[in-house]
Amino acid sequence: MQKFIYPELKHINIGGKNNMVEEKEISGEDLKKDIFPPILFDFISNLEAVRDFVDVISPFLAEHAKQKLMSRKKYLLPILVLMELIKSGKTTEEISSALEEMYEKEPEMEKVIDFSTIGTEKMGAASYSVSFRMDDKHGKELTKTLKDFKIVNIQERHLYRTSLIALTCIAEWFISQLLHEYYKRYPNAVDSADKYFSLNDLKKFGSITDAERYIVDKKVENVLREGFESWINFFRDKVNLTMSNIKNDLPKMIEIFERRNIIVHNAGKINSIYLSKVDPKLREDLVEGMEISTDLEYLYPAINAFELNLTIVLAEFWKKLDAKDTMRAKILNTIAQDELMEKRWEIAQGIGHFVMTDKQMKEREQLRGKINYWESLKRQGRYDDVREEIEGADFSAKGLLFQVMRYAIIDDSEKFFNLIDEALRSEALKFEKLENWTIFEEMRDNPKYESLREKYEMQMEGEGDN
């Protein structure tokens, strides 16, 4: 997904080839009319930057760790094998025998442990005390190896923890922007008590505008201090948004912020505050004092949850302020298509559902939302959830583009290939989009597609020569 540059961009082009919105439909001048597009674009771009950062650094760290640890294999491997043997309940004699066998298979490795000195003692349900002897030279090397091993683990832990902190900072910035916009649109929402200043306060302001800005900044700061759940309550109770979309993910998002808090303030160790605020279902088997783990499997769903839910919060706020602004649906549909290309099905599903149910939007945009919604469910293996709706839908009057997209979703290749040539010739669908949109993936795998590709590639080459 590309980063947006606002307001310098002449045309919106989210994600490149997969863009469902023609570039001419949304110009920079159009975007300048709305406050919400730049907020949304910056939000999504920042989240994508976190994903990209992790994608770049994680493999580098893994390779760095591999090279570092492999260079000290003769010291590390026996220890790791020893630990596994102990956990499996082997006796001292069995452990010594297994280590001897390992050295026979790895003749280039130098023996660093005196097997006759190995001693083990179980200290608890899952902890052991291990003792063995080695000479001073090997002892120093082992100490250095274990230190390197610890540093490698710390580096990986820092990557995911700092990325999680970045995620919460991005979310807080996003909420701050919406709050500022709310107080800008509804200045009377500021309590009367907040509008009083001392004489010294007034002397600090250069103008009434400065004083007004200060009031709003303080009000926003006070809301932000109350925590994530309070932010959501604010938009539901004060701004009167339904917030229905966030209901299922709210416990998870609260947990993410509480996890961030213990990482920053308690070295990642669970405390009583975390346990009191996090849904019991999300903290099973966690006890006070335990160090919490944050890895890739945790981080990516966390980013996705914030992207989906906060995008819909913005969309709902936008709809409240200007229900008939068609820019909203165009941008959301384009973002949903990008998410489909990135295989982030749940985000596309949520955005698609919002657009398809937004009755203030044009039918074409609602249909785009519905198509995105249907496809996202299909990609999640949930086609049966909407099978009756899709297969019973009458698209005969909906235009060639939507007809071929529906045929692609229901895997009706015969009707698809009967109609696709006409859709391409009339430019209802451009060939490059047929080549790249995820919705046509199964059709591209059909043997009939190859001849179609050859035909239009030759035409494109001919047009290029002219």
> pLDDT digit string (tens) for 425-465?
999 999 999 999 999 999 999 999 999 999 888 776 655 55
- Is a pLDDT exceeding 80 seen at residue 69? no
3 state SS of 26: coil
pLDDT of the residue at 199:
58
- Is a pLDDT exceeding 80 seen at residue 29? no
Beta strands in 29-141 (DSSP E): 114-122, 128-133
pLDDT of the residue at 301:
97
pTM for the model stands at 0.81
- Is a pLDDT exceeding 80 seen at residue 183? yes
Answer for the pair 18, 340: CB distance below 8 angstroms, yes or no: yes
Read off the pLDDT of each residue in 144-166 and give the average, rounded to a whole number: 89
Q: Cα–Cα distance between 376 and 380 in angstroms, integer?
A: 6
Q: Cα–Cα distance between 405 and 398 in angstroms, integer?
A: 11
pLDDT digits (tens, 9 = 90+) for 316-344: 999 999 999 999 999 999 999 999 999 99
3 state SS of 129: strand
